[in-house]
Chains A and B, each alone.
Chain A
Amino acid sequence: MAAPDSTLQPAAPLSAPPAARRFGWLGDRGLAALFISPALGLLLFLSVFPLLWALYLSFTDYSVTRDVPAQWIWFENYVDLLTSDQVHQRAVTTAVYVIGAVGLQTVLGFTIAYLISRRARGRGLMTTLFLTPMMLSPVVVGLFWKFMLDAQFGVVNSFLNTLGLGSVEWLTNQRLALLSVIVVDTWQWTPFIMLIALAGLTAVPRYLYEAAEIDRASEWFRFRRITLPLVWPLLLIAVLFRAIEAFRLFDLVYILTNGGPGVATETLSFHVYKTAFLGFDTGRASAYGILMVIVVIVMAQLYLRYLNRLQGR
């Protein structure tokens, strides 16, 4: 009796189903739907539906403060906005800001990444330290700098005075205010470009440089022909990403200058806010917002297309 048992028993666990196959009724199709639909539902409810509502409002003269039903006015809001000098001015301000800030960040960020990548030791520590500004809230960053750039007791002017240069009204001077916002944004987001450039730089295969060294290629040649072409695609992703973020900028302006002096630092986002929450012109602000969304969608499409290409390789 003992002998057959010992031969049969090891086989038993294999033949018997180890699991009761719970949830077996749930096919792949059902499971996918069950897992994806709650997420999509929340997004539809809080992202898509509000945008559609804004789209509807943009064709009306609705105002939150008036208790009159909204009137359908077709494209009046859009025509007004697109022909308004005020809006053009904000568009120029935003463009200067986006190009200035993202350009500065790219140059500085790539330089820092390149310098770090050439160091043999302490790279991890340096990277971590350099990344600090990026993780801070825009509120904190805005407050830090508002305090430092204060015309009377700010530390920046204090330094300038010690050096014998006069005080500068960083945030209240018509010409300097936008530059100050650009500098602050650059301070916060240079690490972002640096981080991604560094990721690209460390991914360049070592043997390419070794081959170039054997061929006695100059340092400049190596940088131009090996480093740049290999890092560029990733860097472009970072630049586009930053451009989208910079285009939406609101919080930094709100804290640092509140759009002033005058309208010198009013970006498109800030103008939308003023139209909606100070002017209570909801319909017009919605149209304004929809125009911004269109720009963002175009930029995001560009971004995603490059991303697609990068991932495809």
Chain B
Amino acid sequence: MAVRVEDAVPVEATARSAAPPPGRRRSLRSVVEIVLLAVLLVVMLFPVVWMLETSLKEGRDVYAVPAKLLGFDVTFDHYKDVFVQRGGTGASDLAVSFQNSVLVAGLSTIIATVLGVPAAWAYSRFTLKAKRDQLFFILSTRFMPPVVVVIPIFLMYRDLSLIDTKLGLILIYSAFNLPFTIWMMKGFVDEVPSEYEDAAMLDGYSRFEAFHRFTLPLLVPGIAATAVFALIFSWNEFVFAVFLTSSEEARTAPPAIAGLIGGTTIDWGLVAASAMVFAVPVLLFAFLVRKHLVAGVTLGAVRR
């Protein structure tokens, strides 16, 4: 079971009401706590709000000193610039990179899922030689510093002429998401009793069919959650993207957005707008899988 934060709320509520009636010191204390939480929340959310405001401001308001928190004219020009070429009608370079990101993140997630789910099932069901060591080895590949891995990958891709191709990125992202998929899915498979498969096999199904017809349908919600996380990881990835691609045709969104600050003058309105366009899908997806966040962000290692 993944931890469900919301589940604990009613328990807490009843426990609170069962406590002795709050005295004056208690209520003062809880006021202090609420204020502290509110301040922390404002600090944590301010940068996001500020970026949203910046993306909607006109050029001169973006650089206004002192900064304008409220009372600026709202414009969607920056968002238009993200998708449409300035002064033209074609798709902008950023729009192309967003398309690439969708393709690369989507395909690498599919590959990682197709390879990872059966492997997770096998690791969960069978007694294999040094199973624990194998699983730990798989997870530790995910811990390698990307900057270090990218050096030999760069040389390898140069020989295989995969440099600056979407295929190259898809492959490396699949390998990068596979350990996560296996660990995360193994947790979900462990929750499905293996007796279902035993029963199916008594009925005359083969082991493969027992997996395919009985266990797999039960795993679908888990597969969906795992895939969403893999999608987020690939979508957000930067290091491999910036070193393994250079042309507009292959570049994904993170290096493209980072490239906006390379020049002498930086159009922060455009940077803000493209960052928002880039971040909003992630936040939406993260909201969908919020029940599995603990397992997801620890690469499937922590679950209870």
Q: How far is the CB of A18 from chain B (nearest CB, A)?
A: 5
Q: Does B239 contact A (CB under 8 A)?
A: yes
Q: How far is the CB of A264 from chain B (nearest CB, A)?
A: 19
Which residues of the other chain, B, contact A270 by a CB distance below 8 angstroms?
A: 147
Which residues of the other chain, B, contact A128 by a CB distance below 8 angstroms?
A: 287, 290
Q: Does B224 contact A (CB under 8 A)?
A: no
Instruction: Please measure, in the bound complex, the distance between the C-alpha atom of A133 and the C-alpha atom of B148, giving whole angstroms.
Output: 26
Q: Does A53 contact B (CB under 8 A)?
A: yes
Residues B208 and A23 in contact, CB atoms below 8 Å apart: yes
Which residues of the other chain, A, contact B66 by a CB distance below 8 angstroms?
A: 158, 161-162
Residues A42 and B175 in contact, CB atoms below 8 Å apart: yes
Residues B122 and A36 in contact, CB atoms below 8 Å apart: yes
Q: Is the interface of A mostly helix, strand, loop or mixed?
A: helix
Instruction: Among B118, B138, B257, point to the contact of A139 (Cβ < 8 A).
Output: B257
Residues A137 and B207 in contact, CB atoms below 8 Å apart: no
Q: Does B218 contact A (CB under 8 A)?
A: no
Which residues of the other chain, B, contact A273 by a CB distance below 8 angstroms?
A: 147
Q: Does B141 contact A (CB under 8 A)?
A: yes
Instruction: Please measure, in the bound complex, the distance between the C-alpha atom of A277 and the C-alpha atom of B146, giving whole angstroms.
Output: 14
Instruction: Among B41, B50, B294, point to the contact of A195 (Cβ < 8 A).
Output: B294
Instruction: Please measure, in the bound complex, the distance between the C-alpha atom of A51 and the C-alpha atom of B34, giving whole angstroms.
Output: 50
Chain A residue total in the interface (Cβ 8 A): 118
Instruction: Please measure, in the bound complex, the distance between the C-alpha atom of A115 and the C-alpha atom of B35, giving whole angstroms.
Output: 10
Residues A35 and B122 in contact, CB atoms below 8 Å apart: yes
Residues B138 and A43 in contact, CB atoms below 8 Å apart: yes
Among the listed stretches B7-15, B77-85, B86-94, which one makes contact with chain A, having 4 or more residues with CB under 8 Å of it? B7-15
Binary CB contact string for chain B from 239 to 281 against chain A (1 if under 8 A, 0 otherwise): 1001100000000001101100100000010011001001100
Binary CB contact string for chain A from 124 to 151 against chain B (1 if under 8 A, 0 otherwise): 1011111111111111101111111000
Binary CB contact string for chain A from 275 to 313 against chain B (1 if under 8 A, 0 otherwise): 011000010011011101100110110001001101000
Which residues of the other chain, B, contact A51 by a CB distance below 8 angstroms?
A: 144, 149, 152
Which residues of the other chain, B, contact A254 by a CB distance below 8 angstroms?
A: 242, 258
Q: Does A231 contact B (CB under 8 A)?
A: no
Instruction: Please measure, in the bound complex, the distance between the C-alpha atom of A297 and the C-alpha atom of B137, giving whole angstroms.
Output: 10
Residues A153 and B64 in contact, CB atoms below 8 Å apart: yes
Instruction: Please measure, in the bound complex, the distance between the C-alpha atom of A36 and the C-alpha atom of B255, giving whole angstroms.
Output: 34
Binary CB contact string for chain B from 269 to 304 against chain A (1 if under 8 A, 0 otherwise): 001100100110011001100100110011001101
Q: How far is the CB of A121 from chain B (nearest CB, A)?
A: 7
Instruction: Please measure, in the bound complex, the distance between the C-alpha atom of A296 and the C-alpha atom of B301, giving whole angstroms.
Output: 17
Which residues of the other chain, B, contact A255 by a CB distance below 8 angstroms?
A: 258, 261
Residues B119 and A57 in contact, CB atoms below 8 Å apart: no
Q: How far is the CB of B4 from chain A (nearest CB, A)?
A: 9
Instruction: Among B48, B65, B171, B301, point to the contact of A158 (Cβ < 8 A).
Output: B65
Which residues of the other chain, B, contact A297 by a CB distance below 8 angstroms?
A: 140, 143
Q: Does B31 contact A (CB under 8 A)?
A: no
Residues A293 and B144 in contact, CB atoms below 8 Å apart: yes
Q: Does A199 contact B (CB under 8 A)?
A: yes
Residues B205 and A304 in contact, CB atoms below 8 Å apart: no
Which residues of the other chain, B, contact A142 by a CB distance below 8 angstroms?
A: 258
Q: Does B98 contact A (CB under 8 A)?
A: no
Residues A237 and B302 in contact, CB atoms below 8 Å apart: yes
Residues A153 and B63 in contact, CB atoms below 8 Å apart: yes
Q: Does B191 contact A (CB under 8 A)?
A: no
Residues of A participating in the B interface, judged by any CB pair closer than 8 Å: 17-19, 21-24, 26-28, 31-32, 34-36, 38-40, 42-43, 45-51, 53-54, 57, 64, 108, 112, 115-121, 123-124, 126-140, 142-148, 152-153, 155, 158-159, 161-162, 187, 190-192, 195-196, 198-199, 202-203, 206, 209-210, 213, 234, 237-238, 241, 244, 247-248, 250-251, 254-255, 269-270, 272-273, 276-277, 282, 285-286, 288-290, 292-293, 296-297, 299-300, 304, 307-308, 310
Q: A31-B126, A131-B293 are in contact. List 5 more A-B contacts (CB 8 A).
A: A22-B206, A46-B153, A139-B236, A143-B258, A202-B8
